[in-house]
A and B are shown apart, each in its own frame.
Chain A
């Protein structure tokens, strides 16, 4: 079967940026060239998609999602999470191991891959645990996790507080060139904190999480990565200090990549003032100065990647009082427009914004996605960068509704998402979805 996407503006970061047609054959990219439609003969086996006025780019790659299965299927399943992913333009997602049981074994990894295969939406790539049960004590069977299909290791949400354990994890994982991800939070410093420590927490009387809780661990992890030579990936960078240290480490040649989440460059802790638990996430929303630093980091590529940290929680859980509600927000369906805001603000070019969502994350985890190079899987997004829409959590494909962006007008909409050459999502024009 052959598919031709015509008349679109193709952005394949580093490879193409301009009008072109994309030819897909048997689920793989065959060619990206201008005016292919004029050269190809019409035939019954050729399907055409007219992408006039749209941007055609590789499907987005999200290095950081929580799909809650197995164990918390009332929050999200691999099926609902994948549906939300493709609706947001993400064709590949890497899911964190903090399920129940924790993904610290081949059986859980294989279960996740099997569930993902059933849904036939996004590609779901598991991230394995660093330590058994993510308890931070003994290493998980990292070699087996790698063989079973894990693309990185992390004890996300449960920072590895023991520096020796982290050293050993980095050393061990380097045998498989597996990236090591550490949720950078000194849990003694953050203690019972539920929001950024600053003027707003002082006024609201909420226990704070200081920037130092992140900075201390970023510093440690950078030191260990430099020492061990391991591949370190820093998720959800939220502080000016982290950005500065990553910038310095990269200048010294440390093998580190970093990601920022859309909420960390779109909101500050002022969003907490109404005690809305949908503004509660970890790391917390910080201050203007931190938001500026994160944007600077994205601009100068200190921060390589935009990832969502999509963290669904049930409505009733977010109705608990702020300090007892769980951390996290859903983010797959709002990431594109929030990232495009950076283009509007002049921080990134459109191609750079696309790269942060595609080629850069793929490179960080050595994934064969995020590109339209001939021979690669035909995972694509067709998007309209100028279409406006209003965020209505009730319309989300996620099983959960926890977003702080409810009611926001977003600019930039996914029109079609293809995985392996098959359309897995499309917006119905002028109809509520």
Chain B
């Protein structure tokens, strides 16, 4: 089976077979990252551009390392060094970059749909590294990779996604990816942070964390954006962490050996208590290292001739 997509824009656009293929393709690259010489020549002569219109050191670094370990040439473009501020449209910016014969454009943008819109107008492969609240497909793929690695599979697992689902691209991508691969997904959060009709995406919605955690195999906690307090999504950090923070005591309700995941950066003591973040259950650092392997696998799959 071969990979037929030019771009990775969303999990929604991938079939279960595509997801399985990407996870399989990532596997060998884990070994490469474990070597003394962490480099293979697979993408020699290819140019990867990281276009980050929203700051994100972690994701950008992960993509950059992935591309470099594949021997691609990588350049980083961020808004401060681009001409977006001068009123150039996003499309103009991208077309300018692409005129330098790029092969892969990794795009992070604060607007939902930015990657989708751009991909229609460019020849290069576009990888969505996060668009507004819409999707963050590579995050979901690396989460699935990590779950598969730790649990031996995804089908049939009970997974809880906890926190501000409404404003989370990580949640949207994970809901799509996990349900596609046969996991049972629950989401938990205050009603102000659960978007309308979410159940129609095949998840169960909970407003009380204890109920949501009962017997789950995996807990994905979302980062709380603290500035949302000012807009009345939750009354206070204190109350949020009291009702929706993952503590060692609450973790007891989950299945034995449940995994605790987080897309980072963690607000310690808010979404996750210190002891849980440092416990054996937390696989947050595995997510980060698997991220490089998954992104290498993706870029490898996309590197066929256009």
Kindly specify which of B127-135, B256-264, B265-273 makes contact with the partner chain. B127-135
Q: Which of A202-246 contact B (CB under 8 A)?
A: 202-208
Complex contacts, A201 vs chain B, CB 8 Å = 195-196
Given contacts A321-B109, A322-B117, contact A205 B134 (CB under 8 A): yes
Q: Closest Cβ of chain A: how far from B284's Cβ, in Å?
A: 24
Q: Is A324 an interface residue (CB 8 A)?
A: yes
Establish whether residues B116 and A274, one from each chain, have CB atoms under 8 Å apart when the complex forms: yes
Complex contacts, A207 vs chain B, CB 8 Å = 133
Across the interface, B201 reaches (CB within 8 A) one of A203, A319, A320, namely: A203
Chain B proximity mask over A167-202: 1 for CB below 8 Å, otherwise 0: 000000000000000000000000100000111011
Complex contacts, B114 vs chain A, CB 8 Å = 321
Given contacts A320-B89, A322-B113, contact A205 B132 (CB under 8 A): yes
Establish whether residues B198 and A202, one from each chain, have CB atoms under 8 Å apart when the complex forms: yes
Given contacts A275-B116, A322-B112, contact A202 B135 (CB under 8 A): no
Q: Is A323 an interface residue (CB 8 A)?
A: yes
Complex contacts, A319 vs chain B, CB 8 Å = 89-91
Q: Which of B170-227 contact A (CB under 8 A)?
A: 172, 195-198, 200-201
Instruction: Please name the residue on chain B nearest to A317 by beta carbon.
Output: B89
Q: Is B12 an interface residue (CB 8 A)?
A: yes
Q: Closest Cβ of chain A: how far from B187's Cβ, in Å?
A: 12
Complex contacts, B112 vs chain A, CB 8 Å = 204-206, 275, 321-323
Instruction: Please name the residue on chain B nearest to A199 by beta carbon.
Output: B197
Q: Which of B131-145 contact A (CB under 8 A)?
A: 131-135
Q: Closest Cβ of chain A: how far from B87's Cβ, in Å?
A: 9
Q: Is B236 an interface residue (CB 8 A)?
A: no
Interface size of A by Cβ–Cβ distance < 8 Å? 21
Establish whether residues B195 and A202, one from each chain, have CB atoms under 8 Å apart when the complex forms: yes
Q: Which of B57-84 contact A (CB under 8 A)?
A: none
Complex contacts, A206 vs chain B, CB 8 Å = 112-113, 132-134
B113, B131, B172, B200, most chain A CB atoms within 10 A = B113
Establish whether residues A198 and B116, one from each chain, have CB atoms under 8 Å apart when the complex forms: no
Given contacts A204-B134, A205-B131, A321-B90, contact A275 B113 (CB under 8 A): yes
Establish whether residues B132 and A323, one from each chain, have CB atoms under 8 Å apart when the complex forms: yes
B91, B116, B201, most chain A CB atoms within 10 A = B116
Q: Is A316 an interface residue (CB 8 A)?
A: yes
Q: Closest Cβ of chain B: how far from A289's Cβ, in Å?
A: 13
Q: Which of the four size classes fits the interface of chain B? A: 20 to 34
The DSSP consensus for interface residues of chain B is mixed
Complex contacts, B108 vs chain A, CB 8 Å = none
The DSSP consensus for interface residues of chain A is loop
Establish whether residues B113 and A198, one from each chain, have CB atoms under 8 Å apart when the complex forms: no
Tell me the complex Cα distance, A78–B240, Å.
54
Q: Is B295 an interface residue (CB 8 A)?
A: no
Given contacts A205-B132, A206-B132, contact A321 B117 (CB under 8 A): yes
Complex contacts, A204 vs chain B, CB 8 Å = 112-113, 134
Tell me the complex Cα distance, A191–B195, Å.
15
Given contacts A205-B131, A205-B135, contact A322 B197 (CB under 8 A): no
Tell me the complex Cα distance, A163–B201, Å.
40
Complex contacts, B131 vs chain A, CB 8 Å = 205
Tell me the complex Cα distance, A203–B134, Å.
7
Tell me the complex Cα distance, A202–B114, Å.
16
Establish whether residues A199 and B196, one from each chain, have CB atoms under 8 Å apart when the complex forms: yes
Tell me the complex Cα distance, A337–B109, Å.
39
Chain B proximity mask over A304-325: 1 for CB below 8 Å, otherwise 0: 0000000000001001111110
Q: Is B111 an interface residue (CB 8 A)?
A: yes
Across the interface, B90 reaches (CB within 8 A) one of A197, A199, A320, namely: A320
Tell me the complex Cα distance, A208–B135, Å.
16
Tell me the complex Cα distance, A429–B191, Å.
59
Given contacts A205-B169, A321-B111, A321-B117, contact A316 B89 (CB under 8 A): yes
Tell me the complex Cα distance, A320–B134, Å.
16
Q: Closest Cβ of chain B: how far from A122's Cβ, in Å?
A: 32
A201, A205, A208, A323, most chain B CB atoms within 10 A = A205
Given contacts A205-B131, A205-B132, A206-B132, contact A323 B12 (CB under 8 A): no
Q: Which of A319-338 contact B (CB under 8 A)?
A: 319-324
Q: Closest Cβ of chain B: how far from A325's Cβ, in Å?
A: 9
Given contacts A205-B133, A275-B116, A323-B132, 12 further A-B contacts (CB under 8 A): A199-B200, A202-B196, A205-B134, A205-B135, A205-B172, A206-B132, A208-B195, A320-B90, A321-B113, A321-B114, A322-B117, A323-B113
Sample (14) of A-B pairs whose CB atoms are under 8 Å apart: A191-B231, A201-B195, A202-B195, A202-B196, A202-B198, A202-B200, A204-B112, A205-B132, A275-B112, A320-B89, A321-B90, A321-B109, A321-B112, A323-B111
